[in-house]
Structure 1
Amino acid sequence: MSILIVDDSPTISSLIKSYLINAGYTDLLFAASAKQAFQMLGVTLHGKLSGNFTTSIDLILLDIVLPDMDGREVCGIIKSIKHLQDTPIIIVTSLTDSAHLEMAFAAGATDYVTKPVNYIELLARISSALKLKHEMDHRKAREKKLLEVTRQLEKAVNQLNRLSSLDGLTGIANRRRFDEYLHIEWRRNIRNARPLSLFMADIDFFKAYNDTYGHQAGDECLKSVAKTLKNTLQRPGDLVCRYGGEEFAIILPETPSSGALSLANKMCLSVEALGINHQKSPAGNYVTISIGVATTLPTENSSPKEIIAAADQALYNAKHNGRNQVYVGRSGNTTAG
């Protein structure tokens, strides 16, 4: 335990030193003024950190009358420094009237010892102060550990939540995230009275692709298509999801039919431009996709199920009409315009 004795009297300092050494306290530091004490603590006279201190101090014995500053003011400055706030300060004083002591305690003093210093009293108060310091340090260490455990737990939970929203193969959002995000954007677009567009996209003749090139090649194909669809999106709020199997869903908040149609056509062209050979596809020489597009103005009387059904029907029509194309659907409040 490191103890700093701040007293301008060599006699008092020597007496306290002999008492403490006799009691087994050997890590002792001495300062004859506030300035010297501040230097050892790494503090300036204005209560700022100097970044230069002798050692960690566990207890301060502070004379109330110093040559360069009132001890109570010194106490207040020390206690204003965050990392020193838990360091106990015992005032050593011959001023025992209540007004002086009240001012010392108000400045942050933990206890006081009267002059002339009594051996038994000094050791008892030091023991009590150091015990308090030990308990506070132990509590802070537990709190720090608990905060770290909490931080790690929050990080793990966030990571788990993120992974639970991603498709394991393609790395894009999964069906669970699709349902969640569509509901969120549906409510937001109701509030903002803005249209919402939804794509349902399907890789053309994907079963034939798997049968021809194998399931490993099929997985690589899914990943390439997913990456291309994601990279084609133009805004952070747009979301592409793996809806199931070789089917993808794209949510476009605040997007009218004209903008949706333009993006859907771009997606079709981008996937075909990957140049993934597909010998068994009647739709072309390469892997292609079909997209069904639906756009609606969400209202309190409508449901996300309606736009999903409309996009599904549009996808069916795109496939029925030859695939490798975009088809814009209509249903109820769902509109192409």
Structure 2
Amino acid sequence: MYQLVKGALVNLDSLSKKKGNILLIDDLPENLKLLTDSLSKLGYTVRCAISGSRALKTIKSKLPDIIILDVKIPEMDGYQICEAFKADPDLCDIPILFISALDEAFDKLKAFQVGGVDYITKPFQIEEVVARLEAHLTIQKQHRILQEEIIKRKEIEEILYQSRAILSGILNSSLDGIAAMQAVRDPLTGDIQDFCCLVVNPIVSKVLNRKREDLIGKSFLKELLKNISPDLFDRFVKVVDLGEPLDEDFNYVSGDSYWYHYVVVKLGDGFAITIRDITTRKQTELALQNSNDKLELIANLDGLTQIANRRCFDDYLATEWLRHQREQNPLSLILIDIDYFKRYNDSNGHQAGDNCLIRVAQEIARVTQRPTDLVARYGGEEFAVILSNTNMEGALKVAAVTQTAIANLAIPHDNSDISDLITLSIGVASLIPTSERSIEGLISRTDQAMYEAKNRGRNRVIASLVR
């Protein structure tokens, strides 16, 4: 909408969008009325004061955006009023626009010297006043925005400073090693060539036995990781490229420590890593594992002969049965009994009997040297041999070699009816496990074969064909 103001056609819509709070200071009521009426119609908020003292008393009740100040005012002229405003910290930033009938260069120069931002001579055109007002209001608005931005920036800087101080405190006091790495990429292919250290705390520098200033800003990780694990660098690259974290233990000798746990997570075009010394925990775990292994060994060994006991035999046969059933390979079992051992024990004493059992057990174990074979004390003077992936022909060969080996020991037996040396009665069975057959059936057939060897005169091998 346009309106004729003082003979000029003014766009009120555009002006109304830029309203401002104006303080008019003039001792002539007609001047105040003229400017007040004209500016109010254009959407400005206008207040008036007829003297400098009155203006100074009331101005702080509501600070204006701009002041229009006449030069010729009794008691305090415009220059003095302006100087008073500029001396007050609360008022010094308010722009002052002088308006006066004085048009000498001296008067204009003095207006700017005391702090004025503009000088309009009378008689004036309202459109000129409005244009200059708008220009200075825009500058004032931009100045306020700038001041607000400065305040915000200072607040942000303070927050950042405090955050950095907190982060630095956390990094420096943390018992874990903490570091941040930035990817160093090939400018042509974009592939990660190495990682540059951005942040590192004292724990990491201690682990690496380097000063922090020698690490920050340096690319050393690729070379370092070669000494830990050849593929570890590529796995760190995948953390950055795929976003998949790493979380595991690794071995790295640093002083008295040699086991660490690390967690790596993607951070921008790089990663953050935390490292914890777990040497004490690892030592405890290894000691516990060693103890468990010893207990497991004790639980599965026969205390006298130091070969597998009956419990170990049962567990291993059950495992091998399932494996051979799955793979459809032959599984053989040998049961061995020392002939007339009770007589040997009675005539030679229990100590001699124990020594005999030990020698026989160790010799049987020496004959069967494959890792998948198991020799166990089955009970009393009986022994069992589990032969994996072995058919009847192979099992009979093992039985024959075992019998010969025991004969070669030449352990005297004065109370045997068949020899003056220790001899063995051996039963052998072999089959391919199926769902229709059972472990118990295999043991039963082998046991029957062994007793048949006894019934046929002992010191022999009898095979049982399992159908």
Report the TM-score, using the length of structure 1 for normalisation.
0.60
Match of 2:398 among 263, 268, 272: 263
Q: CA deviation at 1:73?
A: 2.7
Does the 8 Å contact 1:289/1:325 carry over to 2? yes
Does the 8 Å contact 1:79/1:108 carry over to 2? no
Q: Which has the higher contact order (CA 8 A, sep 6+)?
A: 1
Q: Which runs of 5+ in 1 are unaligned?
A: 1-45, 48-55, 63-70, 84-104, 110-135
| 2:217 aligned with 1:73 | yes
> Kindly tell me: are residues 106 and 184 of structure 1, through their superposed partners in 2, closer, same or farther at Cα, counting changes over 3 Å?
closer
Deviations 1:156-196 (CA, angstroms, capped at 9, x unpaired): 11121122111111111111110011111111111221111
Q: CA deviation at 1:236?
A: 2.1
> Kindly tell me: are residues 212 and 303 of structure 1, through their superposed partners in 2, closer, same or farther at Cα, counting changes over 3 Å?
same
| 2:315 aligned with 1:180 | yes
CA distance in 2, matches of 1:234, 1:79: 46
> Kindly tell me: are residues 81 and 229 of structure 1, through their superposed partners in 2, closer, same or farther at Cα, counting changes over 3 Å?
closer
| 2:284 aligned with 1:149 | yes
> Kindly tell me: are residues 289 and 73 of structure 1, through their superposed partners in 2, closer, same or farther at Cα, counting changes over 3 Å?
same
CA distance in 1, matches of 2:439, 2:370: 21
2:103 is aligned to none
CA distance in 2, matches of 1:300, 1:178: 21
- Report the 3-state secondary structure (helix = DSSP H, G, I; strand = E; otherwise coil) of the residue aligned with 1:73: coil
Q: CA deviation at 1:274?
A: 0.8
> Kindly tell me: are residues 80 and 283 of structure 1, through their superposed partners in 2, closer, same or farther at Cα, counting changes over 3 Å?
same
1:240 is aligned to 375
Does the 8 Å contact 1:173/1:241 carry over to 2? yes
CA distance in 1, matches of 2:209, 2:425: 73
2:299 is aligned to 164
CA distance in 2, matches of 1:292, 1:191: 26
- Structure 1 stretches of at least 4 aligned residues deviating more than 2 Å after TM superposition: 56-62, 71-74, 76-83, 105-109
- Report the 3-state secondary structure (helix = DSSP H, G, I; strand = E; otherwise coil) of the residue aligned with 1:201: strand
1:87 is aligned to none
2:340 is aligned to 205
Deviations 1:133-164 (CA, angstroms, capped at 9, x unpaired): xxx99x62xx2211111111111111211221
CA distance in 2, matches of 1:264, 1:270: 10
Q: CA deviation at 1:209?
A: 0.2
CA distance in 2, matches of 1:208, 1:245: 13
| 2:288 aligned with 1:288 | no
> Kindly tell me: are residues 152 and 282 of structure 1, through their superposed partners in 2, closer, same or farther at Cα, counting changes over 3 Å?
same
> Kindly tell me: are residues 278 and 148 of structure 1, through their superposed partners in 2, closer, same or farther at Cα, counting changes over 3 Å?
same
> Kindly tell me: are residues 152 and 200 of structure 1, through their superposed partners in 2, closer, same or farther at Cα, counting changes over 3 Å?
same
> Kindly tell me: are residues 106 and 195 of structure 1, through their superposed partners in 2, closer, same or farther at Cα, counting changes over 3 Å?
closer
1:131 is aligned to none
2:75 is aligned to none
| 2:357 aligned with 1:222 | yes
Does the 8 Å contact 1:73/1:107 carry over to 2? no
> Kindly tell me: are residues 108 and 188 of structure 1, through their superposed partners in 2, closer, same or farther at Cα, counting changes over 3 Å?
closer
User: How many residues of Structure 1 are paired with residues of Structure 2 in the alignment?
Assistant: 224
Aligned-pair identity (%): 41
CA distance in 1, matches of 2:369, 2:283: 38
Q: Which runs of 5+ in 2 are unaligned?
A: 1-195, 198-207, 226-251, 253-267
CA distance in 1, matches of 2:321, 2:401: 25
> Kindly tell me: are residues 287 and 107 of structure 1, through their superposed partners in 2, closer, same or farther at Cα, counting changes over 3 Å?
closer
Q: Name whichever structure is richer in strand by fraction.
A: 2
Does the 8 Å contact 1:72/1:107 carry over to 2? no
2:448 is aligned to 313
